[in-house]
Structure 1
Amino acid sequence: MNRLVRLEWKKLKQKSIMGEVIIYWFILLGLPVFFVKVVSADFGQSFDSLFELIQSIQRGIVLLGASLISQVFIDEYKNKTISLSFGYPISRKKLFTAKVMFIAFFIFLTTIVSYLLTGAATFLMNQMFPFVYFSITGSNLVSYFSGMITGSFMVTLISFIPLFFFAIWRRATILTVICAITAMNLPNFSSIFQLNSELIVIMLCGIGALSLFLSIKTAESVGEV
């Protein structure tokens, strides 16, 4: 399985992917300062409000997930290169599992690094141009790192929402991207639905997990060329 996962990475345009990741990191690490300074100073009033802002910003990596899904699944269908993969002496379910594991690992690791870069950049910027109106304590750091793990896991699950219907079944790149944009922004409009944003995130994670399950479960049938 490890060999299959590594093979998925080798098949991609690695420099292009890493370039895209660096752009995401560069944009996301500066957004907390922008929102506190330009949108609302309330984000800097407490650790909880600032961390909630950082968590919502990290959901932007869901769009990177859509890009990976498009390249790992949709492009292979369109280019017919997936037919070669189906010729391997392994089941399609195992092949799809390897593809999913690669995407999950890549998104999770990218989000972890993004949290670390964003946290460090926010701290350093606050030292130069104070905009946070609370003292950072040891418990804050513990909460940040634990929330980082949980948040990265959630981002990974939400990234898989378009996988089954839009990528494997419909094989539609544009719809996959639109679905990802909708999913990553939906919690920000929780007040419109009169729901707690955390509840919406949990629901999105559930949908992502279901999409993930169906993608692997039906690989032998829906996964046909």
Structure 2
Amino acid sequence: MRSLLKLIRLELRKNKINLYKGSLIASLAIMLFMLLIVFTEIDDPGDFATYADVFDGVHIFVKAVFMVFGAVLISKLVIDEYKNNTIDLLFMYPIPRKKLMAAKLMIVSLFMLITIFIANVLVGAAIVGFNHYFIEAISGELTTELIGEHLIRAASDAVYSAGIGLIPLYFGMRKKSVPTTIVTGVLIAGLLSSDFGSFQLGNQVGVSLFLGIVGVIIAYLSIRKIETQDVA
């Protein structure tokens, strides 16, 4: 486990990836977007009239943004390596290929797990604070039960997304294509965020659990035979 964590740190340094900065910028963008929507339509609140509506919107935007972010991360850590043939050099190191690939995929899953939960909490708290101290645009009472539901959903979204975020790997690896990987992430984000009347696919636990398992299976299959696989 310690060696795997060391590989994760080396991967982040090698690719010059600053996850803290990127996730902070993404969270701030979501926060400003939500504040703009909620507090510029005070006379006609529309879909964000209550705290429940606002929290639902936060979950949708956070999951969509970081799903695309995860696809970009897969492109940077995995697809680019295959496309530019730098993966050959990486596999020459005296480290098992499985462990190297596992480190890359763990970066993506841990990123999705941590950032989606934190972003949901921070964006939700910012909207609640702004509504309390500046403009009371959201009706209804903010109850302990509602906060608990928000935190539980934030945690469940984070867990499911840690698996779902790996699905673009399958499509990107087929043609070693960065655009395909990112487009797949966008399509998945759009599908999970879309409304079909009163039905939202991303709110269905069964669907999210199924897609999360699919992502984990894809990750497993991508490294299962990598020790003997031709990387060309």
Secondary structure class of the residue paired with 1:99:
helix
What is the TM-score when the length of structure 2 is the normalising length? 0.83
Displacement, 1:29? 1.3
Residue identity over aligned pairs, in percent, reads 25
Partner of 2:72: 67
Q: Distance in 2 between matches of 1:37 and 1:155?
A: 29
Q: CA 1:51 to 1:121, structure 2 compared with 1: closer, same or farther past 3 Å?
A: same
Between stretches 82-91 and 35-44, larger displacement belongs to 35-44
Q: Distance in 1 between matches of 2:122 and 2:210?
A: 28
Between stretches 157-166 and 173-182, larger displacement belongs to 157-166
Contact 1:92 1:223 in 2 (8 A): no
1:154-209 deviation digits (Å, cap 9, x = unpaired):
2222211111231x3321011111100100010233417x7754234444334323
What is the aligned counterpart of 1:9 among 7, 12, 16? 12
Q: Which runs of 5+ in 2 are unaligned?
A: none
* Structural mapping, 1:125-140, within 5 Å: 125-127=130-132, 128-140=134-146
What is the aligned counterpart of 1:204 among 197, 202, 211? 211
What is the TM-score when the length of structure 1 is the normalising length? 0.85
Q: Distance in 2 between matches of 1:223 and 1:113?
A: 39
Question: One-letter code of the match for 1:33?
Answer: L
Q: Distance in 2 between matches of 1:141 and 1:223?
A: 50
Partner of 1:34: 36
Contact 1:30 1:122 in 2 (8 A): no
Q: CA 1:218 to 1:48, structure 2 compared with 1: closer, same or farther past 3 Å?
A: farther
1:59-87 deviation digits (Å, cap 9, x = unpaired):
11111111111110122223332212211
Contact 1:163 1:211 in 2 (8 A): yes
Secondary structure class of the residue paired with 1:220:
coil
Q: CA 1:190 to 1:45, structure 2 compared with 1: closer, same or farther past 3 Å?
A: closer
Q: Distance in 1 between matches of 2:201 and 2:166?
A: 22
Q: Distance in 2 between matches of 1:76 and 1:113?
A: 30
Q: Distance in 1 between matches of 2:200 and 2:16?
A: 41
- 1:95 has 2:72 as partner: no
Contact 1:164 1:211 in 2 (8 A): yes
Question: One-letter code of the match for 1:30?
Answer: L
Partner of 2:183: 178
Displacement, 1:37? 4.7
Question: One-letter code of the match for 1:88?
Answer: Y
Question: One-letter code of the match for 2:165?
Answer: S
Partner of 2:220: 213
1:93-131 deviation digits (Å, cap 9, x = unpaired):
222111111221122222222122201211122121122
Contact 1:32 1:54 in 2 (8 A): yes
Q: CA 1:195 to 1:135, structure 2 compared with 1: closer, same or farther past 3 Å?
A: closer
Q: Distance in 1 between matches of 2:182 and 2:136?
A: 37
Q: Distance in 1 between matches of 2:33 and 2:140?
A: 19
1:123-144 deviation digits (Å, cap 9, x = unpaired):
1221211221111122222222
Contact 2:171 2:180 in 1 (8 A): no
- 1:79 has 2:84 as partner: yes
Q: Distance in 1 between matches of 2:195 and 2:128?
A: 28
Question: One-letter code of the match for 1:147?
Answer: R
Q: Distance in 1 between matches of 2:47 and 2:160?
A: 22
For the aligned residue pairs, the C-alpha RMSD in angstroms reads 2.5
Contact 1:44 1:133 in 2 (8 A): no
